[in-house]
């Protein structure tokens, strides 16, 4: 499920992709309007089937994370930090599995 929400000061729109257990798999950048955030969700759905769109990274603390990028190379969403590389790969697989048919829960005003 994608969860669409606004920042506390209502200045930006964001989305999270959540697994069936409620855990956040992917978080978006901030968007200036709701339509931009909805386009971001559609972009995740479109691009998540292409493994090349996932940028795998290792943080300076040794933890693993990933970004998913649009066709233009812009980052659409970023993962949490994972203790292991296999955990990160499981997160990527979860995005590939959950995003294409996920609904949107709109929590904006």
Q: How do residues 19-55 score in pLDDT, each as one tens digit?
A: 888 999 999 999 999 999 999 999 999 999 999 999 9
Which residues have C-beta within 8 Å of that of residue 91, sequence separation ≥ 6? 25, 66, 79, 80, 82
Q: Are 94 and 84 in contact (CB under 8 A)?
A: no
Q: What per-residue confidence (pLDDT) applies to 61? A: 96
The CA R_g of the chain, rounded to the nearest whole Å, is 13
State how far the Cα of 16 lies from the Cα of 39, in Å rounded to an integer. Answer: 13
Residue 109 pLDDT > 90, yes or no? no
Which residues have C-beta within 8 Å of that of residue 79, sequence separation ≥ 6? 25, 26, 27, 65, 66, 67, 88, 91, 92, 95
Range of 73's domain? 2-106
State how far the Cα of 54 lies from the Cα of 65, in Å rounded to an integer. Answer: 10
Q: How far is Cα of residue 3 from the mean position of the Cα atoms in its chain?
A: 10
Q: What per-residue confidence (pLDDT) applies to 8? A: 81
Where residue 29 sits, what CATH number does that domain have? 2.30.29.80
Q: What per-residue confidence (pLDDT) applies to 27? A: 97
State how far the Cα of 96 lies from the Cα of 48, in Å rounded to an integer. Answer: 5
Domain count, the chain: 1
State how far the Cα of 108 lies from the Cα of 98, in Å rounded to an integer. Answer: 22
């Amino acid at each position: 499920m994608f969860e669409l929400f606004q920042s506390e000061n209502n200045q930006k729109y964001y989305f999270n992709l959540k697994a069936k257990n409620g855990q956040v798999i992917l978080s978006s950048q901030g968007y200036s309007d709701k339509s931009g955030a909805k386009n971001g969700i559609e972009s995740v759905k479109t691009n998540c089937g292409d493994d090349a769109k996932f940028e795998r990274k290792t943080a300076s603390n040794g933890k693993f994370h990933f970004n998913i990028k649009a066709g233009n190379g812009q980052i659409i969403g970023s993962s949490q930090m994972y203790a292991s590389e296999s955990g990160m790969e499981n997160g990527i697989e979860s995005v590939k599995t959950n995003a294409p048919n996920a609904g949107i829960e709109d929590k904006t005003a």
